[in-house]
Structure formats: structure tokens, C-alpha cells
Structure 1
Amino acid sequence: MAAAITASLGGLDVLIIEKASQYGGTSAISGGASWIPNNPKMRAAGMQDSYDSAYIYIETLAGEYFKPELIQTFLEKGPEMVSFFESNTELRFQHRDYSPDYQSDKPGAATGGRTLDAALYDGRELKSHLADLCPPLGDITLFNGLMVNHDDFPHLFNVTRSIKSFWYVTRLLGNHIVSLLRYGRGTRLLFGQALVARLAKTVFDREIPLKLNTGLTDLIEEDGAVTGLVVEHQGQEMRLGARRGVVLASGGFSQSAEKRAARMPHVGGGAEHHTLVRSANIGEAQDAAVKVGAKDISVSANAAFWMPVTLVTDGDETVVPHTNLIDRAKPGVIAVNEEGLRFTNEAISYHNFGEAMIANGLKHAWLICDQTMLKKFGLGAVRPAPIPYKKHLASGYLKHGETIAALASEIGVPANQLSETLEGFNADAAHGIDREFGKGSTAYQRLMGDPGHQPNECLRPLEGPFYAVKLQHGDIGTACGLTANIHGQVLSERGLPIEGLYTCGNEMDSIMGGVYPGGGTTLGPGLTFAYIVGKHAAEQKSKQ
């Protein structure tokens, strides 16, 4: 959508095709954050950042996979993109005052401002098009689709203790019930829902055609240039011409079991992998590009951006992966392998935690907490008190043991080793330290912990009874894709741009080299290169 809007504003006639029956894809179910260093929103708030510090930070993380030209372009054009969309579209960003980069102890890292969120949006503005917006994941909503954010949590937690909070929550629920009755879904849109809805409003206002249930089957090539594409809609094949170019932005290959096995070592080694990406993303666009001479998918530090997940069985017996974003960082939590040993710092980012699972050769891990933690913060899909969790015990999702030995028996790890692991962890945690892995040692980790707990927001000894959920490998999008230049043009095997063929988003090889600097690492570069692609295509028209 972002590329289409930019091209349309540049004077081009644009068509968007979407394979799925709803628009929004993985962006719509995401956190909706965009990582843009030195952006105009943070600068307007008086926050300091620089091109040089962001460059050093990315270079430090990416190492041998660092891509200087693409990073230079991203850092130069990212802030420009933010201003462009705020000035010309419905999209509005809000900066986070305090949101440390994920590896906040590295040179060039920032403690806030770089991560932008899409502002809350009223879905009713989409009118009839709201029905076609891909709904949010159930694990980021309450009460049948009500979206809430950090501003709402204090009121939700204090609803029985504060008159102000009681009326706040009453209004929130009342409006949500009205939306359910009238629209069949929530209309208070946050995170990725707000981002996509705001872009979609501009698409519809500009009368850009958006064709659902229309999948790419092939690209049309003439004299070494891409001049159109072949699509399938309701069983009918159609050939569509493209005067200025085709942009491939269909989200990568996360749902292709064959491609995952070929490019993700743990999957090739027999581990289960459960992606959070929408089912339509199987990599057909990348295959079509390779057929017209595009360089095959390259190798980055990681094949995808990792997210540990737990598997929940919903009402119709469908198994659904649930994100494990912040529970790992809370005090009163440890993660262990099949042998009952800790293998990493639980409070590192979801991507880095996934890297640790892979590096340690794990097929799965166990996240263990005590009852104090469970009641205060929940665990995985288990909500905090007073929401009951007996159904999760009954289904086997949540394991329980009055003693650590009993829990070890439930989850199938050696009781002696797990007891020894917990004893060592508790001895350190009592003093607010983690000598083995340094849990709670960075600003990012402490933010993810419990701000009211001292001396270390992430550490507290575990005391029975104990609970556990099984962590599996997962991802939020692929990181290896089509090789492109600084204009988003797809490159051939010889390293030359293929005329008329562009890419952006997770279809494009990660400009970060498969590392994850901070919240919004997929959407920030995705939006930036969508803007770059749309501008470049429009500029080619003006030259002709």
C-alpha cells in the first residue's frame, strides 16, 4: 500500500493485488511499530539522535552481513518517509519517549525515540472497507477483539480499586459492545491495525483499486524488462500490463514448509516451527522473480526474524501460535532446555531469544514461573488474575507442580538438574544479580521487567507452586529475500537492476542482514523502501 500511495501521489496509475480474501497481511496483525532513527517526531520532541550513531549501532550488530549502501539509504530516507506520509496521507506516527533499542548496551544504541507507533484510529472511517481488514491476533486483544495499549493497562488493573478506572473501563467496554453489534468486530484500532487502516483509508480516498483474492502466478518479461504480470482471480487467469513497473511486496515465504526446511537450519534438523505470518505467504513472488533472472534468495545472519511461541488450542480445536513477547523478562521466570538447564538470558529480545534456541540446538524449551508471577503477569496465553486459567491446565497447555520435582515430572526434564538450576538461579536472584547470563543487565531488559521491583526489575527467586509452558520456534517474517539496490530495484544474478521490477518489505532481502536492532525493524525499512520504490518509479515517468 505504501508504495502504491507514493507512486499514485507521483502521478502514476496504480493497481494493488492481494492474494488473500482480506487486506493487511502480517502488518495488520503485528505490533505496528516502525524503527526509524533520527526521525522528525523525536526531533520535534527535543530528543537527540544522529545518522552516525544509528549507523554504528547497525554495523556493530550486523557484522559480516552489514550492507553499507542500503543502510545509508535507509538512514537518509527514513526520516523523509515519515514526513512525506504525515503530510500526504492519513498515516500519523507517535514516538516513544522511552523505548530502548533491543541491544541497548551496544555502541550507538538509543534509549528512546527511534520506534514509532501508528496513532490510534477509528475503524468506522473505513466504512464498508472495514469488513475486509484482516482482524488482529486474539493474543493482543481482550473481550472478543477489544484492542488495548499501555495507556489502558493501569485502568484495567485498577478497575475494582478506582472510580476513575471503573468508568474508564466501562466506557471502553460499552463502545466495544456497540462496535460488535454494529460491525461484527472492534473498531478501536491500534498497532498494526491502525497502521494498515490509515494507509487503506488513503488508498480508498485516492480511488486506488485493491483487488482481493487475486494471486500472482507469473511475471511477463520482454527484452529483459518486466512489463506485466499474470494473475489468477476466481479461477480465471488474467494478464496485466505494467507501464512503469511491478512491485513485489507479498511478505516472503514464512508459510512454505519446503522453503523453511531449506533455509532454516533448525527446521532442517527436525524441529517444529510455527510462524505468525499469514497463510498466503509462501514465496510465489520470489519464485516468479527468480524465473526472470533475479538473484536467488541470499543468506543473512538469520533466515527470519524469530519469535518464540506457545501453541494454544482455540474453541474449534485449531492450534494457534501465541507470541511470547515480554513474560520471559519478568521477575520469577526462567527458561530451560530439555535437560533442565538455562541456556540464555530470558530477558533478551524475542529475536535474540530465538537465535539462542537455534544456537543451542533446541527443538523446544520450557518457560517456568511461580504462582506470584502467574497471577501478576500471566504466562504465555494465560492472562493475569483475576482471569481464570483452569482451562489451560485442563488442556495441558499450562503445566503445574506443587514442587519443582513435581513440575519436572510433568514436563519431562531431569528433576535433579532442574532443582539444581533453580537453586543456583534463586541464590543469585535474591541479590538482584544473574552471574550466569546477566538477566536484567541492560535498559531494554529492565523495561521489559517489572518497574516496581528492585533491585533488579527482571529477577526474583521462584517459590512454589510452579507452572510452565512449552516454547516452540516461530517467526514474524522472513529476513532473506530478493536482492535489491538502493532504489528497491531487484537485481539479477549479474548484479544489474531488472528493468521494471521492484521489491520492498519482507520480500526484499533484509537490509539489516538478518539482525533486529529494535522494535519495528521490519516495518521501518519496509515503509522506507516502499516510499523509495514509489518515488523512483514516478521519477522514471517524469524522465520519459
Structure 2
Amino acid sequence: MLLDLGKLSPEGEVFDVVVVGAGGAGMSAALYAAIDGARVLLVEHSEYVGGTTAYSGGTTWVPGTHHAASVPGNDTLDTAEGFLNRAVGERTPAALRRAFLDNGAEAIARIEANSDVKYRACPTHPDYLTELEGSTMRGRALEPVPFDGRLLGPLFSLVRPPIPEFTVLKGMMVDRVDIFHLLRATQSFASFRHCAKILLCHVSDRLRYPRGTRLVMGNALIGRLLLSLSQRKNASMLLNTSVEAISHDEAGVTALTLVQNGTRRTVRVKGGVIFASGGFNRHPALRKALLPGADEAWCPGAPGHTGKVHELVRPLGAHYGEGALSNAFWAPVSRRQRKDGSWAVFPHFVFDRAKPGMITVNQAGHRFLNESTSYHLFGVAMQEAHKASPSIPAYLIADAEAMRKYGMGMVRPGGRGFAPFLADGYLTRADTLDELAVKLGIDAAALKDSVARNNAYAKTGVDPDFGRGSTAYQRHNGDASWNGPNPNLGPIERALFYAVRLYPGDIGAATGLVTDTDARVLNTRGAPIAGLYAVGNDMHSILGGVYAAPGITLGPGLVFGYIAARHAVQRAAAAGRGDGYLQSEACRPSRHIGVTSHDAKV
């Protein structure tokens, strides 16, 4: 499966489809093309596959699949379309959203029937904007089934490891099911048995592997995609390889010039090139223009989304979409320097800020947002508030009881192990709110007033300032065991008091290359650039920067990967096959994972 660029023919080998970027969207597109019998080349410029998908929860939002029948509900595509139309409005063409919905079920069914990629629907996994008509609490968000990384053999080392701070016991991955059982291991025999099983597996793994081989969430999805691609003789991959140039004539894209470790080769393309490189976020100039004021040090994404390949197609007329709610998707993050000098950037998705006994205040000591809203809207609100009053960083505040129950960012629940976090300044602790305000450099009277108002709201269950806990999504992320009237509101009253600094971190690009319903990149005249496609975060978000539900980047990434691959394969077929390529042989799955001695060093 893995190639050495230097071993390719200098005259230019021919591929039906070339995919640039081995994240979730790119690997899916490559797999779809391989399933259809195309000779596929997947090009990745880093040493790992997985991109930011490998860091993510792996949730894939696709309405109307066969998995929806496994959970209660009566969702329809028309209901989902109405929800999206209300959420997105005129920010993007409705035809793109309809193409996504019309192809979603088929995309999921096809990849599951022809590969090791497997999904499941959670009993409850709500849309984020449950206040809108047409939203659901379950059935649209799919999660990858946990995966045994040992099946990859030597290729296991190519899967981008998760953020270390998202693992426990030095490399054991856990998902929401595991966390549920871990928190109840001493209260339930079923939870104890679940924890014992995964712990024993991890102990065994650590005797042979640098980290756990039980992959969950985004790592599970990437592992399954990699295994599936490795089983197909017609799929090849280059790592540590960049795209230097793209050739184009009146018929469309014809070739790519690739560079790997100083070796340069040109590969010819029959069907098309699919861009799935992750978006613009780490391109210095584009970041400055599109994300002003957002420090790259706050970005928790993988390092691959440099936007460099976008520069190659701008002369062809490719351009970015406009009118998005935001140019990126956001989450509040906290930062801590590791022992090796690198920085951990930890997204605060749902496990702390939405819980009772916590509030977020700005640098004046005032609450300024709904702590239980989606992570995207939280990040947007931070930036908007900062225009009027310094709110970056903001401060997540909790008392001793909340810290014991929920933890805070990188600090685990349980109320212990604070010393290293206090020593390096990640966590701030004080005996009183007055002392905490002094340590944070904020107004003590304002902080105490914010806490007093929160405590009063906790008694009534109503937050008249920001409506915290007013939607089904918000309440779902609260504490169902909390005995107060609102699962998101609880008093802050038990010393000691704690704080962590929060920053708005961009978790993915929303603004990208304008495409049509076949994922073909359009020029400034609105015409397709033949043979050029964009999916994932390279494609302008079909939701126009609105984060309506969990997995609204991975879902469209997979579905438009399917659409793009299908169109590119058809285009290759129209051009005719040659070069001794036999479709019948290419379509025959192989369990052999070919890794040369060169590959093993990658």
C-alpha cells in the first residue's frame, strides 16, 4: 500500500484518482474510488494518516441512514432539510444541502458493505440547535465502532495518536461510554466489569505497543479506513509528500508534481484530483486575513491543514466562499506546556463548562455568555464579547464540589492530583473568591456578584441573563443526577475555588473552496474546473459556518467524498483505462498488507 516516490516511473505513472490529504474526508474519498475499481493514489504530507479527524470524537452527522432505525424516532430527510434550512438560511445554496441529504444514506451503506468501516447510532446524541423545528435528539449522529488497532500490523504506527491529555494511563483511549462506566466503577458491577475489561486490555497492550491498541472515536474511524485501504491492491499511499505543482489544460487537470524527501515525480491523472488537505487554518497569510486576532497557538487541530495546495489552484479561478457565520468552527480551549516543551491545547467540549457549579467570566469578572451552549457558539461569543470588553482569555470558575465531580479541562474528576497543575499555573486555586479574583487580576466585587447571581438562578432553575439550560441540547450536557431544577445550574459556594483560562480555538475551517453539488471546484465564473474536486474542510462548508449538530464536518466530508469519488471515477472511465491496469484484479480485496523495509521506517 505504501509507496516510495522514488520508485515511481520518472515518465509519470497514471492514476485514475489522486486524493490530496489523508484525513477522514480524504481517506473516505480514496476508499470510495478504490471500491469502484479505480487506481487510486492518496497523498499525505505528514508522517501520519488521520489529520484532525484522528483527534476528534469521530462523530459523523448523516441523517436518514439505516442506523436511524436502531433508535426511537420518526426522522425523515424532509425534516432534516427543514432543520438545516432554518439553521443555515441563505448562507449557502440549498442545493448543496439537498445533495448531502440525498446521498448520505447510500454513502454510509456503501462504505459499510464494502469495507471495515462500521458505525453505530447512540441512544441519545442531540443536534446542537434543538430549539429549532426539525431538530432531533438521536439518529442522525453516527459514531465509529471501536477498533482493534492490532489488525493493522505494522501500519498501526501510521495512525496519528490522539491528544495525550484525552487519554488515561499513558495512552488508553476512552469514549463517552467508557467515561460513563469509569465514573461508576465502584457503584455498579456492570461498570466495574466494563472497566476491568478495557484496563486489562490496555495493560496487555503496553507490554508490546507504545500506546493502547483499542481505538475509539476518531482514531477508530481512521484505523478502519486505513485497514480497508490496505486490503485493496488498487489503492496506494505516499506519506511525507507534498504537492509542488498542478498541471491543467483545456480538458482539465492532467497531472500533479509531487515531492518526497527531495525526490520529485510527476503523476498523471485521468479522472481527477480530490483536495482534502484540511483547510487553510495554518496558512499564515490566510489565517491573518480570515481569523484575525486568533492566535495559532490556540488551535487544537492537527498540523497538516496548511492551505498550501489552495495556492496552486487560485490561478485556475478557484476561490473561497463568502457569507459564512464564521470562517472557522470554534471551541473554548485551555493550554498547558508539557514536560517536553510542547503545548497541549485542550478543547472544552462538554465535560465541564456546561455542568452545575461552574460559570465563565471575562476579565472584568462578569458573565458574558451561556456556558452550556455548543462549543462553536461559545467560541464565537468569546470573540464577539472581546470587542466590547476583554474576554480573551476568559476564566472558567468552579468550587470544590464541582471540581470533585467533573474536573476542569486537563484536571480529572475526583478532587485530587492538583499539585502539578497548580505548580505550572494551568490551574488557579484560592480559599475565597476575593483571593481568586486577586490571583486572576479581575474585579473581586464583580466576580462575587456573578457568583451570587448564579447561585440565585440555581435555586429557581432559570437564568434570565443568558438562558443557560433552556434547550434540550444544553440540558443533555448538564448533570442528570443533579437534584436542582436545572441540570446546568448549581451554586458555587464550597471552598476551595478554582479557575482555568479559556481561549477561542479554531477546530476546523468553515470557509473553503466553492464547489457544486458534485464537489467540483468552481471558478469565479461559476463553471467547474474539470478534474478538480474539494471535500472536507477544503470545501466551503455546506452549513455556512453554522455548527448545527455533532459531526457536521465529518458527515459532509464523507458524503461529498463519496460524491466526488463517484464523479471522478466516471470521468476516468470515460477517458479509458490503460497502462496494463486490470479492473478485475484491482477490485479483488487482499488481506495482505505490504510494508517494505522503507515503509516500516516511516
1:230 Cα offset (Å): 1.4
Q: Partners of 1:123 and 1:289 in 2: how far apart? A: 37
Equivalent position of 2:144 in the other structure: 118
1:215 aligned onto 2:242: yes
**Aligned to 2:555, what secondary structure does the other structure show?**
helix
1:385 aligned onto 2:410: no
2:523 to 476, 492, 498: 492
Equivalent position of 2:378 in the other structure: 353
1:312 aligned onto 2:336: yes
> What CA deviation, in whole Å up to 9, does each residue of 1:85-136 have, x standing for no partner?
1111111110122111101011111111110000011001111100111101
1:246 Cα offset (Å): 0.7
Equivalent position of 1:77 in the other structure: 103
Q: Partners of 1:254 and 1:225 in 2: how far apart? A: 28
Q: Partners of 2:416 and 2:532 in 1: how far apart? A: 51
RMSD over aligned CA atoms reads: 1.6
1:36 to 37, 45, 62: 62
1:292 to 307, 316, 323: 316
Contact 1:255/1:278 (8 A) holds in 2: no
**Aligned to 1:245, what secondary structure does the other structure show?**
strand
Letter of the aligned partner of 1:426 in structure 2? N
Cα distance change of structure 1 residues 173 and 263 upon mapping to structure 2, 3 Å threshold: same
Give the TM-score taking structure 1 as reference length: 0.96
1:308 Cα offset (Å): 0.9
Q: Which moved more, 1:25-34 or 1:152-161?
A: 152-161
1:514 aligned onto 2:540: no
Q: Partners of 2:472 and 2:191 in 1: how far apart? A: 30
1:46 Cα offset (Å): 5.2
Contact 1:67/1:512 (8 A) holds in 2: no
Contact 1:38/1:114 (8 A) holds in 2: yes
1:28 Cα offset (Å): 1.0
Give the unaligned 5+ runs of structure 1: none
1:197 aligned onto 2:227: no
Cα distance change of structure 1 residues 540 and 44 upon mapping to structure 2, 3 Å threshold: farther
Letter of the aligned partner of 2:508 in structure 1? G
> What CA deviation, in whole Å up to 9, does each residue of 1:371-413 have, x standing for no partner?
1000111001110115411111111110112111111111111
1:297 Cα offset (Å): 5.2
Number of equivalences: 541
> What CA deviation, in whole Å up to 9, does each residue of 1:300-327 have, x standing for no partner?
2111110110001112122221110111
Contact 1:370/1:467 (8 A) holds in 2: yes
1:446 aligned onto 2:437: no
Q: Partners of 2:188 and 2:325 in 1: how far apart? A: 49
Contact 1:102/1:444 (8 A) holds in 2: yes
Equivalent position of 1:280 in the other structure: 304
Identity fraction in percent: 37
Equivalent position of 2:393 in the other structure: 364
Q: Which moved more, 1:494-503 or 1:421-430?
A: 421-430
1:462 aligned onto 2:489: no
Give the TM-score taking structure 2 as reference length: 0.87
Q: Which moved more, 1:222-231 or 1:235-244?
A: 222-231
Q: Partners of 1:96 and 1:174 in 2: how far apart? A: 25
Cα distance change of structure 1 residues 46 and 336 upon mapping to structure 2, 3 Å threshold: closer
Q: Partners of 1:410 and 1:334 in 2: how far apart? A: 17
Contact 1:290/1:296 (8 A) holds in 2: no
> What CA deviation, in whole Å up to 9, does each residue of 1:137-177 have, x standing for no partner?
12321111111223323432244455654454333222112
Equivalent position of 2:14 in the other structure: none
> What CA deviation, in whole Å up to 9, does each residue of 1:240-274 have, x standing for no partner?
1111111110101222233221102433xxx6751
Cα distance change of structure 1 residues 426 and 44 upon mapping to structure 2, 3 Å threshold: closer
Contact 2:70/2:121 (8 A) holds in 1: no
**Aligned to 1:476, what secondary structure does the other structure show?**
strand
1:349 Cα offset (Å): 0.5
Equivalent position of 1:409 in the other structure: 438
1:240 aligned onto 2:267: yes
Q: Partners of 1:165 and 1:428 in 2: how far apart? A: 34
Give the unaligned 5+ runs of structure 2: 1-26, 576-602
